[in-house]
Amino acid sequence: MALAQPDLQLNQAIKDHTWLHFTQMKNVIDDPSPMVIARGEGSTVWDTRGKAYIDGLAGLFCVNVGYGRQEIIDAITEQLHKISYVSPFSYPNEPAIELAAKLASMSPVGKDARVFFVTGGSEAVESALKIAKQYQRLRGFEGRYKTISRRSAYHGTTMGALSVGGLTGIRKAYEPLVPGARHVPIPHRYRCDYCAAMQDCSGQCTREIENLIEFEDPATIAATIMEPVQNSGGCIVPPMTYYPEVRRLTRENGIVMIMDEVICGFGRTGKMFGTEHWGVQPDMMTLAKGLTSAYYPLGAVIISKEIADTFIGAESQKLLHGITFGGHPVAAAAALANLAIIEREHLVEQAAEKGEYLKAELHKALDHHPSIGDIRGAGLFVGLEFVTDKETRQPMEGGPMMGWLSDQLLARGLICRCDDRLDPVIQLSPPLVITKEEIDRIVATIQEVVGALEEELHM
Ligand SMILES: Cc1ncc(COP(=O)(O)O)c(C=O)c1O
């Protein structure tokens, strides 16, 4: 079918001028009709040709309340009419003040916490790391500049966030990175080098942290940063003993504990914040994505009173850090409207309940398939890992297979993430408003594609 004129123009502009993130543009340039998403409603998006897809990834783990929410659009418009910008270097703005108080009241950091706004996840991580390092200096620990984070983790792309990230593939081109970033193994029950084959976690992954702290000298370490349920590697849920032990180690050694809630925050894992599953109180949390359900860019760091108070006093104590669009009033208004929806529609509880349903249905549909080694996750944040042998857990080769899988799913109207940054997985993270009927369609589509994959591979 010949393309309509506007599509031809759009395609030419994509070929000539567009640059997608983390994407080899040659693949897009060589595609005769690259997919352009034009419209969304609830959990469905439509491309420019009118084909509908279930958005099983909520954009990029962010459109928690679904597309087309008039209430958020109205809040944005109303705020634009009132005032479209206020400088965060000079004045607080009304919606950001209200939002800061709201976030403090909700978060496990503490009701007396202070909130520093930015525009996204990388900036939130960058800011949290700078606050932790300056805090350590302000309280007299000049030498505490190191950080502890996890291998294979993703915390964003700015230089500080990239340094605490553990994906070697995306670090190499930009080295040397920020000095002092140390990395520990992931608490990954299915693939743990120490105890995957054992019934219970041996606790070796937290002993690794303890050993590293001792090896590096606690007086050199500023902070730990970890994502409650780790996205990269496929929705990896640490054992229940893990974060309480990290909390003990950080507290005993004067280390700031930062939880990166950029994906897990705002209901994704079936709790308002992922950290709540482990019942610990971190010193800081980084937020973005679901904070506005991506209706407007916004990120935040929630900082404990103890840390924030260290910055309050003399001119020399102030935080020397800021961003023009941090805490933009329109973004804050969007966030307030978004949080009102999450609370009123009980989307956190819904994520917990529908997440259980999704996992149960995936187990029913896929457990007998030889290529599916593991189905895991929390709430509506679920990963399926591919293997060539269920017994030995031999991982399937990723690479071109991931593109093939993605194309097969897209052809059947499902967007989700096929990722092989660790071992190959499909990840699901749909809007929290997804219906059970849509979940059934997701499961049926994945089952069909897994069957097609096994046929291709003669499994
Ligand atoms: C856990 C985590 N932290 C930080 C980031 C960076 O966020 P952004 O892409 O908004 O800079 C991401 C992005 O996916 C993330 O998943």
36 close to 9: Cβ distance less than 8 angstroms: no
Confidence of residue 398 (pLDDT cuts 50, 70, 90): confident
> Is pLDDT of 2 > 50?
no
> Which secondary-structure segment (H or E) carries 237?
none
Does the CB atom of residue 121 touch ligand 1 within 6 A? Answer: yes
Distance in angstroms (rounded) separating the CA atoms of residues 251 and 248: 5
Q: How far is the CA of 155 from the centre of ligand 1 (A)?
A: 5
pLDDT digits (tens, 9 = 90+) for 139-170: 999 999 999 999 999 999 999 999 999 999 99
Do 172 and 282 belong together in one domain? yes
pLDDT digits (tens, 9 = 90+) for 85-118: 999 999 999 999 999 999 999 999 999 999 999 9
Do 214 and 284 belong together in one domain? yes
Does the CB atom of residue 227 touch ligand 1 within 6 A? Answer: yes
Do 330 and 379 belong together in one domain? no
User: Residue 104's pLDDT is what?
Assistant: 98
Is residue 163 domain-resident?
yes
Q: Any long-range contacts for 342-347 (C-beta under 8 Å, 24+ apart)?
A: 342/64, 342/65, 342/266, 342/267, 342/432, 345/65, 345/433, 347/64, 347/65, 347/267, 347/432, 347/433
Atom of ligand 1 nearest to the CA of 260: 1
pLDDT digits (tens, 9 = 90+) for 9-23: 889 999 999 999 999
> Is pLDDT of 41 > 60?
yes
Is residue 24 domain-resident?
no
Do 314 and 410 belong together in one domain? no
Which of 145, 151, 122 has its CA nearest to residue 21? Answer: 122
413 close to 54: Cβ distance less than 8 angstroms: yes
Strand-strand pairing, 221-226 and 256-260: parallel
Strand-strand pairing, 52-55 and 44-47: antiparallel
201 close to 241: Cβ distance less than 8 angstroms: yes
SS (H, E, C) 290-324: HHCCCCCCCEEEEECHHHHHHCCCCHHHCCCCCCC
> Is pLDDT of 267 > 80?
yes
Distance in angstroms (rounded) separating the CA atoms of residues 250 and 243: 10
Q: How far is the CA of 160 from the centre of ligand 1 (A)?
A: 12
Do 117 and 265 belong together in one domain? yes
Do 147 and 240 belong together in one domain? yes
Is residue 13 domain-resident?
no
Do 195 and 295 belong together in one domain? yes
User: Which of the listed residues 125, 164, 266, 298 should we mutate to test ligand 1's pocket, taking the one with most ligand atoms within 8 A of CB?
Assistant: 125
**Of 344, 379, 406, the domain-final residue:** 344
Atom of ligand 1 nearest to the CA of 122: 11
User: Which residues make beta-bridge pairs with 184?
Assistant: 150
Which of 238, 267, 365, 295 has its CA nearest to residue 74? Answer: 295
Is residue 330 domain-resident?
yes
Is residue 433 domain-resident?
yes
**Of 278, 312, 344, the domain-final residue:** 344
Do 340 and 350 belong together in one domain? no
pLDDT digits (tens, 9 = 90+) for 326-381: 999 999 999 999 999 999 999 999 999 999 999 999 999 999 999 999 999 999 99
Do 374 and 392 belong together in one domain? yes
Atom of ligand 1 nearest to the CA of 120: 10
Overall average pLDDT of the 59-79 stretch: 98
Distance in angstroms (rounded) separating the CA atoms of residues 430 and 442: 10
User: Which of the listed residues 62, 119, 123, 154 should we mutate to test ligand 1's pocket, taking the one with most ligand atoms within 8 A of CB?
Assistant: 154
> How many residues does the structure list for the chain?
459
Overall average pLDDT of the 369-394 stretch: 97
Do 327 and 390 belong together in one domain? no
Neighbours of 337 (CB within 10 A): 26
Do 338 and 389 belong together in one domain? no
Atom of ligand 1 nearest to the CA of 121: 7
Residue with tokens 């020397």: 320
**Of 344, 372, 406, the domain-final residue:** 344
Is residue 17 domain-resident?
no
CATH number at residue 404: 3.90.1150.10
> Is pLDDT of 71 > 50?
yes
Do 340 and 395 belong together in one domain? no
Angle at 126 between CA 124 and CA 131, to 5 degrees: 90
Tell me how many domains the chain contains. Answer: 2
Is residue 130 domain-resident?
yes
Is residue 361 domain-resident?
yes
Name the closest-CA residue to atom 13, ligand 1: 156
Give the whole-number percent of the chain exceeding pLDDT 90: 93
Q: How far is the CA of 313 from the centre of ligand 1 (A)?
A: 32
> Which secondary-structure segment (H or E) carries 427?
strand 425-428
Atom of ligand 1 nearest to the CA of 261: 1
Angstrom CA distances, 418 to 113, 255, 399, stand at 37, 36, 10
Which of 132, 130, 139, 99 has its CA nearest to residue 115? Answer: 99
User: Residue 199's pLDDT is what?
Assistant: 87
Confidence of residue 5 (pLDDT cuts 50, 70, 90): low
Domain containing 398: what range? 35-65+346-456
CATH number at residue 130: 3.40.640.10
User: Residue 197's pLDDT is what?
Assistant: 86
Does the CB atom of residue 291 touch ligand 1 within 6 A? Answer: no
Name the closest-CA residue to atom 14, ligand 1: 156
